[in-house]
Structure formats: C-alpha cells, structure tokens
Structure 1
Amino acid sequence: MDRSNARLCDVANLILGAILLFSPWIFGFEAGHLSQNAVISGIVIAVLAIAALAAFAVWEEWLNLIVGLWVLVSPWVLGFAGNRTAMTVHVIIGALVAILAAVEIWITQPPFRLPTSR
C-alpha cells in the first residue's frame, strides 16, 4: 500500500494533537484534571504522529489508537462529562484520532489470509 495515504493520517493526527494540546486555552477549560488530560494527551498524540512521520512503525499507530480511545472515554472516566465544551472537544478529537489510527493500521498492514490446505 502506498505510504502517502498513511502520511496524511499522521499529519491529521499531528494537527488534532496540537488542537487538543492547546484546547484548554482555545476553549477556556477550567484548570485541573480536564486541562491536564487535554495537554498530556495532546502531547502524546503529536509526538506519536511526529515519530510516525519520521520513521513509520506500526506500534506507533497502535499507541495512537489507544490514546485516541482514552481521549474519547476520558470525560466519563475522569468525571468531567458535565463540562460540555471539554467533553465535546475530547470526544470529537478522541474519535477522530482513533479512527485515523485504525485506518492507518488497516492500510499499512498486509491482509490476513487463512492458510490453504493442499
């Protein structure tokens, strides 16, 4: 599979990580665990995207998938689902990062084939 499509996913994840990183200031999140979660998760997503752009390894995409899923569910796990702005930002960015990572895993991995008996 052409790596250029996967690179587009990495660039998109880099942008999403940067948005999440700066979201407490952009959207005025209150200080505390929801801002910390946004900053730390945004840094992790951006660093993984940069690493994937520099030298692709499938483990980076699996980690991005895990971090994206964490960001998606973190409003409920950390108890800030009542803050609609922070929740919306986390759910949307988490879902997009997870989807992009899953797509990149799918396009870069060879298809699974069952062994044929002869």
Structure 2
Amino acid sequence: MSSVPENWIPFIPVHAPGQNRDIRLQRAAMPSAVGDDRLVRPRTSLLREGYDAGRRYFVHEEEVPQAGTKVTLAYNRTRWHDGRVALWLSARTHAGRGEASSGLSFDYLTDTRPTG
C-alpha cells in the first residue's frame, strides 16, 4: 500500500441507523505516515467536530457533489464607524475541481534489484 498525504481525512459510506438505502459519510481515521501506531488527527475546527469527545461525525451523502467541495476558513477583520475592531472566523464552500486522487494504491510492484 502506498502512503497518503496527512491532510487527507477519509469519509467512508455507512448506512443510516435503521435504513437499508440511506447512506451517510462518516469521518474515519488514517494511520500516521511516521510509522508508529498513531492516527492522523484532523487539524481544522470543521473536521474536529466531536473528535476530542470521541463522537462520530457524519456528512449527508447528497451534500458532497461528485466534483467535491472545498471549504475555506478565513479570519476577517474590519473597523466599525466608531473605530472599534470586529474580528470573526468565516467558512465558505466552493465547488471542487473534480475528483481528486490521494495517490493511494494497493498491490503495486516495485523494482528492488540493486542498481550498478
């Protein structure tokens, strides 16, 4: 198996409770590329929802188009008319650029013969 960049947090399809056809996407875990038994932890507040409390996180399948969704977090700052500063964190969604590839591959061959 090849390695995957650590910013790829997988979402796997699971059946909704009591449903045979309704599918939700559940946040899953990735092993760390460092080689130890640790798991890659989500870094953003959007993907960490419930992570520290050990709760599962679901996204409805219909919310993720085939082209994907890109979520951008940004801090915004402005001044009010009396000079006070307002600061907030915003999240924006944009259509993805098509199906991306993490580079994950299984059962591939590599040449292990010494060179020279």
TM-score, normalised on structure 2?
0.22
Which has the larger Rg? 2
More helix by share: 1
Q: Which has the higher contact order (CA 8 A, sep 6+)?
A: 1
More strand by share: 2
TM-score, normalised on structure 1?
0.21
